[in-house]
Structure 1
Amino acid sequence: MMHLAAYIQGVGAAQAAWRSPRTDAANALSLNHWIETARVAEAACFDAYFLADVLAVGDQIATDSTERPDPIAVLSAITGFTEHIGLVGTSSTTFNDPFTVARQFATLDHLSQGRAGWNVVTTAVGASAANYGSASLPDHADRYARAEEFVEVVAALWDGWEEDAIVADAAAGRYADLARIHPAAHAGEHFQVTGPLPLRRSPQGRPVIAQAGSSGPGMNLSAAWAEMTFTTQWDIESSREFVTRTRELSAQHGREPGSLKALPGIMPFVGSTEEEAQALAREFGSFVDVEGLSAFLTHHLGNLDLSDLDPDAPLPDLRPRLPENASVSRPRLYIETALREQLTLRQLAQRIALTLGHRPVIGTPEAIADDLEQWFTAGAADGFIVLPADLPQGLCDFGEQVVPILQQRGLFRREYTGSTLREHLSE
């Protein structure tokens, strides 16, 4: 069965979506906005509602609504307004500590009755370091070494309480069996954590883990720990190679086949005709601020200095200029795509800005369903993370027009059969 996660960002993932008459930027941080989008995704039987995060405000805020509320606070607030959909929030291993993260997501798992997921990231935005008292980011390899140990500690903390540790024997006055509560007792290179957590084992035992790194270390982290991996893939063959590689790595870690779901990102533009869908995509493209593209692209290319480049000349090979502490996979994908297609700096920036670098899928509901089915049946995806260009309308269009076609074809659930996020992913 295909798996779908809804990527929720402000009033939409397209740059400057706030300029669209289909959105209401003034409502972007209200609880009603988050409730509405979560309910739309749940009505369409999505596996998960996913919140990304960034720990700094970049220059692109001048032209784009990139405000970022705390994912844990938002997801905790909407647990009481949803019943089935998984709730996945991002939390960085670079600027957090394992005890706090383990406690937050265990609490969310209890509040949601087993629907919590943690999206593991290593922060690659240089400006974030200054917000946490550091002059610069650790380099890429060090960030992932810390992340590996971080996840190991979190898992140990989640496992600290056995399922039957709470005995609640009122007659004997005995609430918990101490023999069934275990410290993490972790002493490693980056962390020394005693544990256990101050709350019982959560409904899923361990909340679901998601991860979005597509570099070698990122893929290895997913293969070892994650149930969901989010990826950027623009063609079916490279995506099939990615899926094959993640499954091989997962097997090397002793995991069962199918335990890790690969979800490439897509941005759908749905129209009643091909022309209508193309017009909608062009409309959102027109909202992109040309003057703000340099700041936007600098952010997405590992904070490279692009001031010496002609925006309308073919992009040169910038790979040797990528800083060591930059995110590796995404900037390389962008640069290699620009070189292959002979894109200018301006053209590359516009493409990334419109879709956050993910693959646009433009057409009628039937055409979009055909595309997703092709990728799914070819083994190029276990499902997709859907990035609506605008919210809530873009998510409504996909959920009300594309999802029913996938359901009719037997590719996607018509109703939830499980109660936890882990059960949704096992279908």
Structure 2
Amino acid sequence: MSRRMHLAVFAQGVGAAQAVWRSPRTRPEEMHTLEHWAHLAQVAESGFLDAFFIADALTLGPGITGDATDRPDPVAVLSALSAVTKRIGLIGTSSTTYNDPFTVARQFATLDHLSRGRAGWNVVTTAIATAAANYGSSGLPDHAARYERGEEFVDVVLGLWEAWAEDAIVGDRDAGVWADLDKIAPIAHSGTHFQVKGPLTLPRSPQGRIPLAQAGSSPTGMRLGARVADLVFTTQFELGEATKFAEEMRALTAAAGRHPGAVKVLPGITPVIGRTVAEARDLAGDLGALISERSTLEFMKQSFGGLDLSGYSLDEPFPDISDQLPQHASVSRPELFIRTAVQEGLTLRQMIQRIGLSIGHRSVVGTPDMIADEMQTWFEAGAADGFVVIPADLPLGLEEFVGEVVPRLQHRGLFRTAYEGETLKEHLAS
């Protein structure tokens, strides 16, 4: 078939499920080692996945008491992984609210050179209020202000990446000329938030323009993604809503002057896999039993811009608190959580269980064939161009997905059986 899925794995510690470090399926004592990260990336590469994706968090929440929620620096980890992998893309998150464009442009350009063209930047604006105090700020900017800065930040980074012409490197040993200075231009950016002269301190990266991922599903985030992103990582629970989101994303991309399919829409999915349905449900139950209500409430508080839900009854219907969200809160994810809970009549306890298993993304529990069926349904309906796979536990959750689900997708002609390109840009285009 002409159209095939794109798959990335979202790797977080020893898995996405809250308090999964307590499971005998994990090895939390190893999660800060290169060996741990290398094994995960190599397993993903053995399945020919498009990319290995590391998110970031700029604050350590109170939930650390019960959950292993610490986060390493994504670019540092991915730089190390560039030496122990050969083809898989390496996508890292970096915030536009608490970084500098020149630094981010330089970091990812360096990663792209080290990996021979496999780097990707996940653009986020950071909606966690407690991060502000780590960067000398008294409070988090509101949603509109974060995106205004983020838009300009991205433009500066793209300008810096293009400051060196493709043929700027001369490399003439006899003449003693390494580079043609006429082809290395300052960007001389002067904007509302940034004054950046440039140029960058290293030549154009192997991909030229490094692919961008973007995870905002609010109207503002979608417009940014339509303008600059190569893939959009989104949270979707229901096929109809996911299809509507994908159609809107393609329409916005076309309105931005790009081909409608230029942006790959990849919903997050947490597969919980068993040889039988009963085995998969037992595993989901075992992982769910580890979830700490207190820690998950803290996660929800961060997701809701600091709005505390601990005063609500766990066994009463989830409250419609849309009008109580702080101005600086993220928009799309809280709205999705609230809408889903209200529409399905979920209690706060039930919502905690759902969110706690998959960091707020959609979980699918079943056999490898059932997981593949569900992915195929969404893909063929146009709701997804592929998926960001978020294993509930690591490394086994990833090993099972690559070993059991990927071959079924390949057998159906839905996914590649070998890498056809060398770079992340080529993977996303194939």
TM-score normalised to structure 2 length? 0.98
Q: Distance in 1 between matches of 2:429 and 2:238?
A: 26
The offset of 1:389, in angstroms, is: 0.5
Q: Distance in 2 between matches of 1:176 and 1:111?
A: 20
The answer as to 2:416 corresponding to 1:413 is: yes
The offset of 1:343, in angstroms, is: 1.5
Aligned to 1:395: 398
Aligned to 1:193: 196
Q: How does 1:59-208 map to 2 (within 5 A)?
A: 59-208=62-211
Q: Which of these residues, 324, 334, 337, is aligned with residue 340 of structure 2?
A: 337
CA contact (8 A) 2:51 2:91 kept: yes
Q: Distance in 1 between matches of 2:296 and 2:224?
A: 32
CA contact (8 A) 1:59 1:296 kept: no
The offset of 1:354, in angstroms, is: 1.1
Aligned to 2:285: 282
Q: Which of these residues, 35, 41, 45, is aligned with residue 42 of structure 1?
A: 45
Q: Once superposed, which parts of structure 1, at least 4 consecutive aligned residues long, lie more than 6 Å away?
A: none
Aligned to 1:293: 296
CA contact (8 A) 2:127 2:303 kept: no
Q: Distance in 2 between matches of 1:69 and 1:242?
A: 32
For structure 1, the residue ranges without an aligned partner over 5 or more in a row are none
3-state secondary structure, aligned to 2:91: strand
CA contact (8 A) 2:251 2:260 kept: no
Deviation sequence 1:314-337 (CA, Å, 0-9, x none): 122100000000001001110111
3-state secondary structure, aligned to 2:225: helix
Q: Distance in 2 between matches of 1:395 and 1:256?
A: 33
The offset of 1:302, in angstroms, is: 2.0
Aligned to 1:259: 262
Aligned to 1:426: 429
The offset of 1:306, in angstroms, is: 2.3
Aligned to 2:319: 316
Q: Distance in 2 between matches of 1:200 and 1:294?
A: 46
Aligned to 1:325: 328
Q: How does 1:6-17 map to 2 (within 5 A)?
A: 6-17=9-20
3-state secondary structure, aligned to 1:81: coil
Q: Which of these residues, 23, 26, 36, is aligned with residue 23 of structure 1?
A: 26
Q: Distance in 2 between matches of 1:115 and 1:316?
A: 44
The offset of 1:297, in angstroms, is: 2.3
Aligned to 1:58: 61
In structure 2, what residue type is equivalent to 1:39?
Answer: Q
The offset of 1:141, in angstroms, is: 0.2
Q: How does 1:307-386 map to 2 (within 5 A)?
A: 307-386=310-389
CA contact (8 A) 1:88 1:118 kept: yes
CA contact (8 A) 1:51 1:71 kept: yes
In structure 2, what residue type is equivalent to 1:239?
Answer: A
Q: Larger deviation: 303-312 or 354-363?
A: 303-312
CA contact (8 A) 1:296 1:349 kept: no
CA contact (8 A) 2:269 2:388 kept: yes
In structure 2, what residue type is equivalent to 1:213?
Answer: G
Deviation sequence 1:75-122 (CA, Å, 0-9, x none): 001101000000000000000010000000000000000000000000
Q: Distance in 2 between matches of 1:392 and 1:219?
A: 32
3-state secondary structure, aligned to 1:60: helix
Q: Distance in 1 between matches of 2:159 and 2:294?
A: 48
The answer as to 2:246 corresponding to 1:243 is: yes
Deviation sequence 1:211-233 (CA, Å, 0-9, x none): 00000111011100000100000
In structure 2, what residue type is equivalent to 1:271?
Answer: G
CA contact (8 A) 1:293 1:346 kept: no
Deviation sequence 1:23-47 (CA, Å, 0-9, x none): 0111011000000000000000000
Q: Larger deviation: 287-296 or 4-13?
A: 287-296
Q: Distance in 2 between matches of 1:97 and 1:204?
A: 22
Q: Distance in 2 between matches of 1:353 and 1:365?
A: 22
Deviation sequence 1:107-162 (CA, Å, 0-9, x none): 00000000000000001001000000001000000000000000000000000001
The offset of 1:300, in angstroms, is: 2.4
Q: Distance in 2 between matches of 1:390 and 1:308?
A: 30
Q: Distance in 2 between matches of 1:416 and 1:310?
A: 51
Q: Larger deviation: 347-356 or 408-417?
A: 347-356
Deviation sequence 1:355-406 (CA, Å, 0-9, x none): 1111111111111111111110110100000000111110000000000010
In structure 1, what residue type is equivalent to 2:393?
Answer: D
For structure 2, the residue ranges without an aligned partner over 5 or more in a row are none
3-state secondary structure, aligned to 2:297: helix
3-state secondary structure, aligned to 1:137: coil
3-state secondary structure, aligned to 1:263: strand
The offset of 1:308, in angstroms, is: 3.0
Deviation sequence 1:2-32 (CA, Å, 0-9, x none): 0000000000011111011010111011000
In structure 1, what residue type is equivalent to 2:274?
Answer: G
Q: Distance in 2 between matches of 1:305 and 1:19?
A: 26
CA contact (8 A) 1:14 1:284 kept: yes
3-state secondary structure, aligned to 1:317: coil
Q: Distance in 1 between matches of 2:355 and 2:422?
A: 36
Deviation sequence 1:38-78 (CA, Å, 0-9, x none): 00000000000000001000111111100100000000011
CA RMSD of aligned residues (A): 0.8
Q: Distance in 2 between matches of 1:108 and 1:301?
A: 33
3-state secondary structure, aligned to 2:272: strand
